[in-house]
């Protein structure tokens, strides 16, 4: 294989600045939303005393989980020695950092008192998983930056593999910590499960690779560069494996809950009686996010279709968003069991009542702003740094067996 030549991504200025201007407008609208929420208070959102993590948290967790998985391509190339994936490592690192920053920005702006983040960063309660995540998130950014530098600096090529190992295990630790936020909350029937930590890891692989494929195809289309079918097929097949694994872990999660008599209530709520949450589970998470993409990925009719690959990736992201929404919002909407084993005859604390929650426009704009920030960072980074190979044509030295 001949050595790859990396260049900054170039596309016609009108096309580039139009896209960046659109993202800037979304970011400005999101910042205006933040100022409005700061002035009026969170009562203008759909959140309440029962559902305290709303739609912005869904966006934030979705982006954070995807950020971890976006680095998977770099790991396969430099840590596990995949020759077709190695030239994609630089962009993998840039995308991972951008998605994480976008997700964390949404999280911080939704705190209500974002300036109190300084307290969380200087005063630690190590009995709280949230304190652990402060180190996991910042550590991920620092390690990935060093990893990206090692991949781009010729004199540091020997450091790429060991740093890649550190980045690989750190991102597994990060996603485990994110999943454990829910797994450690024993008061919520939907959260209290050890299955959530490994499930979040495989979710990150799926969402991150879907983001990677869509943005990679878009970048090479915008920059008029060649993207070979063999590499794209490898990425597509790997994505299918991850989607199937997410579906399997969902099956294990729900079968585990159905095996435990105490969890039958939450399972009936999510699978049968949850109204919008049930619809999002079956239609969004299972049908749109799993079944349809698997058909588009593996059906012989679509094997050579790039539109099918892009569509499958988009559907996976839609289904992943629904999955986190059902887990996060549906898990809070289901009533707490304040007195297990006892029946409360009368109470003014919403005992046994499904919490009402309707996302507001302000919450949606805050989340969209996080995605816009991530895409803007990717666009600017790709324009300034040599993260994309000049061409990703299929190498002649590698046949279909590779």
Q: How many CB atoms neighbour CB 326 within 10 A?
A: 24
Q: pLDDT class for 9, splitting at 50, 70, 90? A: confident
The predicted-structure confidence for 10-61, as pLDDT tens digits, reads as follows 888 888 899 999 999 999 999 999 999 888 888 889 898 889 899 999 999 9
pLDDT of residue 398: 47
Tell me if 354 is assigned to some domain. no
Q: Position of tokens 């790991």?
A: 75
Alpha helix ranges (H) inside 110-195: 117-122, 129-152, 160-183
Smallest CA-to-CA distance from 375 within 228, 253, 239, 219 is with: 219
**Contact indicator for 132, 126 with CB cutoff of 8 Å:** yes
Contacts (Cβ under 8 Å, ≥6 apart) of 299: none
The predicted-structure confidence for 294-343, as pLDDT tens digits, reads as follows 999 999 999 889 999 999 999 999 999 999 999 999 999 998 876 666 66
pLDDT of residue 400: 42
Instruction: Give Cα 217 distance to the centre of its chain.
Output: 18
Tell me if 34 is assigned to some domain. yes
Tell me if 124 is assigned to some domain. yes
Q: Rounded to an integer, what distance in angstroms lies between the CA atom of residue 257 and that of residue 279?
A: 19
Q: pLDDT class for 145, splitting at 50, 70, 90? A: very high
Q: Rounded to an integer, what distance in angstroms lies between the CA atom of residue 2 and that of residue 22?
A: 38
What's the total number of domains in the chain?
1
Q: Position of tokens 């109470």?
A: 347
Q: What CATH number should be reported for the domain holding residue 173? A: 1.20.1630.10
DSSP of 54-93: -HHHHHHHHHHHHHHHHTHHHHHHHTS--TTTGGGHHHHH
Q: pLDDT class for 391, splitting at 50, 70, 90? A: confident
Tokens of 399: 């046949």
Tell me if 272 is assigned to some domain. yes
Tell me if 359 is assigned to some domain. no
**What is the domain range of residue 229?**
6-335+372-389
Q: Does 220 score more than 60 pLDDT? A: yes
Smallest CA-to-CA distance from 250 within 173, 326, 167, 155 is with: 326
Tell me if 361 is assigned to some domain. no
pLDDT of residue 129: 77
DSSP of 171-223: HHHHHHHHHHHHHT-TTSTTT--TTHHHHHHHHHHHHHHHHHHHHHHHHHHHT
Percent of the chain with pLDDT over 70: 93
Contacts (Cβ under 8 Å, ≥6 apart) of 351: 335, 336, 338, 344
Q: Position of tokens 């959530």?
A: 196
Tell me if 349 is assigned to some domain. no
Q: Rounded to an integer, what distance in angstroms lies between the CA atom of residue 386 and that of residue 217?
A: 17
Q: Which of 74-83, 319-328, 371-380 has the lowest mean pLDDT?
A: 74-83
Tell me if 394 is assigned to some domain. no
Q: pLDDT class for 349, splitting at 50, 70, 90? A: low
């Amino acid at each position: 294989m001949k050595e790859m030549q990396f260049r900054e991504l170039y596309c016609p200025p009108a096309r580039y600045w139009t896209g960046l201007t659109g993202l800037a407008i979304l970011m400005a609208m999101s910042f205006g939303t933040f100022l409005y929420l700061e002035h009026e208070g969170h009562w203008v959102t759909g959140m309440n005393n029962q559902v305290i993590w709303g739609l912005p948290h869904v966006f934030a967790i979705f982006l954070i989980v995807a950020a971890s998985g976006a680095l998977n391509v770099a790991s396969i190339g430099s840590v596990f020695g995949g020759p077709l994936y190695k030239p994609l490592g630089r962009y993998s690192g840039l995308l991972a950092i951008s998605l994480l920053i976008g997700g964390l920005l949404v999280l911080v702006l939704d705190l209500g008192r974002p300036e109190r983040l300084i307290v969380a960063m200087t005063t630690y309660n190590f009995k709280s998983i949230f304190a652990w995540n402060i180190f996991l998130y910042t550590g991920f950014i620092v390690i990935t930056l060093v990893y990206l530098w090692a991949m781009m600096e010729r004199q540091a090529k020997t450091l790429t593999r060991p740093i890649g190992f550190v980045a690989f295990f750190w991102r597994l630790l990060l996603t485990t910590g994110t999943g454990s936020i829910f797994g450690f909350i024993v008061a919520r029937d939907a959260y209290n499960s050890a299955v959530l930590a490994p499930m979040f890891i495989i979710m990150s692989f799926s969402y991150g690779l879907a983001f990677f494929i869509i943005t990679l195809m878009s970048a090479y289309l915008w920059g008029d560069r060649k993207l070979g079918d063999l590499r794209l097929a490898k990425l597509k097949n790997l994505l299918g494996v991850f989607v199937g694994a997410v579906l399997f872990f969902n099956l294990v999660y729900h079968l585990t809950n159905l095996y435990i008599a105490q969890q039958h209530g939450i399972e009936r709520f999510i699978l049968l009686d949850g109204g919008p949450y049930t619809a999002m589970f079956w239609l969004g998470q299972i049908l749109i996010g799993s079944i349809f993409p698997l058909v588009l990925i593996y059906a012989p009719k679509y094997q050579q279709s790039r539109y099918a690959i892009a569509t499958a990736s988009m559907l996976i992201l839609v289904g992943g968003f629904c999955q986190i929404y059902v887990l996060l919002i549906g898990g809070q909407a289901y009533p707490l069991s304040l007195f297990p084993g006892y029946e409360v005859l009368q109470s003014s604390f919403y005992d046994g009542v499904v919490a009402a929650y309707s996302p507001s426009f302000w919450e949606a704009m805050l989340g969209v702003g996080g995605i816009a920030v991530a895409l803007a960072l990717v666009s600017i980074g790709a324009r300034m740094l040599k993260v994309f190979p000049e061409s990703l044509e299929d190498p002649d030295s590698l046949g279909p067996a590779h």
